[in-house]
């Protein structure tokens, strides 16, 4: 049975869950059909690196949840960042970026882009005057994270969008830690939003995927960059993400509620000397977070152990139910150690300046019963 026979055999029925199209290439009746697809006169697919049905479906769903006119999936969050940069910046241009970013993003800007003739100035984006000053030298992009990795500083997206636009620059927001459930940065004036879909949106630690979206006319250019540089997403990852997306709002709500409760509970536990959570009144961006985030303060939380690296190792051995797995957004609670994982290659002085200490543990809080997480944390903290 070929595909068209299968389609007619389905009659008026259709599968409730979407089909997975693993085909790398599509069969076409003749050259005229190929021309009609490439000229945009007819829908259809030719080669999966350029486009495939699972990416097309997922992109439409992601655009809706982000409040965007278009979205594009990529093979990872880093591919999303790379395609955004390659579509907007050429040799001789400049980027202004937050000095608090995921370590690999900082490395990309610091080590890879200079090889292509693109320089980046890093600024404290919480200091709007400093950011404004940095934008006085022409820059193509201002790059920030809505909630920064790992210490959860919150970006004043509307103010940063204003500053960027006054300087004829575009604001790119990495919304991975917040997800569109907490904030839709395009609505606050951002030009582009990217997400590491690998994390909360995928939600089950079984996909590596990224997304870029916007409300401008750059979709076709980004799609071309993504195809030519080989950043395209795989059908299976898109298919799995579609399932993850269905529960994103529920998961974020439940996980944020757990994180908020833990942020209150953790300061009273022995060995814990600092708790960082944007929902706490003592967080430096608490008021800003309350203004621009809706539906909670997120599922990410950090705490510091007085005993440093050795205490962290003991915690990891003792809290076996909170796996040390250096990612985030899993259904259940996991932990990571930014100093040796996501921010391993950040200059030690910069780490110290930001507060990424040897004792800092980053929790990605899950949706399990709060008491279960507390039990595990108690075990982990029993001898640190
Ligand atoms: N942005 C942030 C904030 C991240 O934490 C990560 C990965 O941890 C990325 C981007 C990169 O995403 P990916 O691992 O999907 O390439």
pLDDT of 200-239, one tens digit each?
A: 999 999 999 999 999 999 999 999 999 999 999 999 999 9
Topology classification of domain 248-381: 3.90.1150
Q: Which of 273, 339, 263 is nearest to 298 (CA)?
A: 263
What does the pLDDT read at residue 347?
A: 87
pLDDT of 8-36, one tens digit each?
A: 899 999 999 999 999 999 999 999 999 99
Topology classification of domain 11-246: 3.40.640
Q: Per-residue pLDDT averaged across 136-159, rounded?
A: 98
Q: Which of 381, 339, 380 is nearest to 149 (CA)?
A: 339
Burial of 297 (0-12, 13-18, 19+ CB in 10 A): buried
pLDDT of 293-339, one tens digit each?
A: 998 999 999 999 999 999 999 999 999 999 999 999 999 999 999 99
Instruction: Please name the residue ranges forming H helices in the chain.
Output: 3-10, 31-38, 53-66, 77-88, 103-107, 128-134, 157-166, 179-182, 219-228, 235-246, 248-265, 286-292, 308-318, 348-354, 370-381
Give the whole-number percent of the chain exceeding pLDDT 70.
100
What does the pLDDT read at residue 201?
A: 98
pLDDT of 89-107, one tens digit each?
A: 999 999 999 999 999 999 9
What does the pLDDT read at residue 131?
A: 98
What does the pLDDT read at residue 88?
A: 98
Nearest-Å Rg of the Cα atoms of the chain is: 22
76 in contact with ligand 1, CB cutoff 6 A: yes
232 in contact with ligand 1, CB cutoff 6 A: no
Residue nearest to atom 13 of ligand 1 (CA): 77
338 in contact with ligand 1, CB cutoff 6 A: no
Domain boundaries, the chain: 11-246, 248-381
Take residue 115 and report the two structure tokens written for it.
């090889």
Reported as a pLDDT band with limits 50, 70 and 90, residue 263 is very high
Q: Per-residue pLDDT averaged across 277-302, rounded?
A: 97
Give the Å distance between the CA of 9 and the centre of ligand 1: 43
Cβ pair 165, 301 in contact under 8 A: no
Please enumerate in sequence order all residues whose Cβ is within 8 A of that of 282, keeping only pairs 6 or more positions apart, or say none: none
Is the omega angle on the peptide bond into residue 150 within 30 degrees of 0, that is, cis?
yes
pLDDT of 42-93, one tens digit each?
A: 999 999 999 999 999 999 999 999 999 999 999 999 999 999 999 999 999 9
**Separation of CA 165 from chain center:** 23
Q: Between 370-381 and 308-318, two packed helices, what is the crossing angle to 10 degrees?
A: 130
176 in contact with ligand 1, CB cutoff 6 A: yes
Among all chains, which residue has been given the structure tokens 């430096």?
A: 284
**Strand, helix or coil for residue 176:** coil
pTM for this one? 0.97
Take residue 368 and report the two structure tokens written for it.
């399990």
74 in contact with ligand 1, CB cutoff 6 A: no
Please provide the average confidence, as pLDDT, over all residues in the chain: 97
Same fold, 11-246 and 248-381: no
Cα–Cα distance measured from residue 13 to residue 29, given in angstroms and rounded to the nearest whole number: 26
């Amino acid at each position: 049975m070929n595909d068209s026979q299968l389609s007619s055999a389905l009659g008026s029925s259709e599968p409730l869950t979407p089909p997975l199209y693993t085909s790398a290439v599509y069969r076409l009746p003749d050259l005229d059909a190929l021309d009609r697809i490439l000229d945009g006169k007819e829908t259809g697919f030719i080669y999966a690196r350029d486009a495939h049905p699972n990416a097309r479906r997922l992109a439409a769903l992601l655009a809706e949840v982000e409040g965007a006119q278009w979205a594009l999936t990529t093979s990872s969050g880093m591919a999303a960042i790379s395609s955004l940069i390659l579509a907007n910046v050429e040799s001789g241009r400049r980027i202004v970026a937050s000095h608090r970013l995921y370590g690999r993003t900082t490395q990309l800007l610091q080590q890879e882009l200079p090889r292509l003739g693109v320089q980046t100035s890093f600024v404290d984006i919480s200091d709007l005057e400093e950011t404004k000053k940095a934008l006085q030298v022409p820059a193509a992009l201002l790059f920030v994270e809505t909630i920064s990795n790992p210490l959860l500083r919150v970006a004043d997206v509307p103010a940063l969008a204003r500053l960027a636009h006054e300087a004829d620059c575009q604001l790119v927001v990495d919304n991975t830690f917040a997800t569109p459930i907490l904030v839709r940065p395009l609505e606050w004036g951002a030009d582009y939003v990217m997400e590491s879909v690998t994390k909360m949106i995928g939600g089950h630690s079984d996909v590596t995927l990224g997304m870029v979206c916007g409300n401008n006319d750059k979709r076709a250019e980004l799609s071309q960059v993504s195809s030519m540089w080989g950043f395209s997403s795989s059908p299976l990852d898109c298919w799995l993400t579609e399932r993850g997306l269905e529960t994103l709002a529920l998961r974020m709500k439940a996980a944020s509620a757990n994180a908020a409760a833990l942020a209150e509970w953790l300061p009273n536990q022995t060995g814990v000397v600092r708790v960082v959570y944007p929902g706490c009144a003592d967080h430096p961006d608490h008021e800003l977070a309350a203004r621009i985030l809706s539906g909670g303060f997120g599922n990410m939380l950090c705490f510091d152990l007085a005993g440093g690296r050795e205490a962290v190792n003991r915690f990891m051995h003792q809290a076996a139910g909170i796996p040390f797995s250096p990612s985030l957004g899993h259904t259940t609670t996991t932990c990571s150690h930014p100093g040796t994982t996501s921010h391993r290659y950040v200059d030690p002085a910069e780490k110290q300046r930001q507060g990424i200490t040897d004792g800092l543990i980053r929790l990605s809080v899950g949706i399990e019963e709060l008491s279960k997480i507390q039990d595990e944390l108690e075990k982990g903290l029993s001898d640190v």
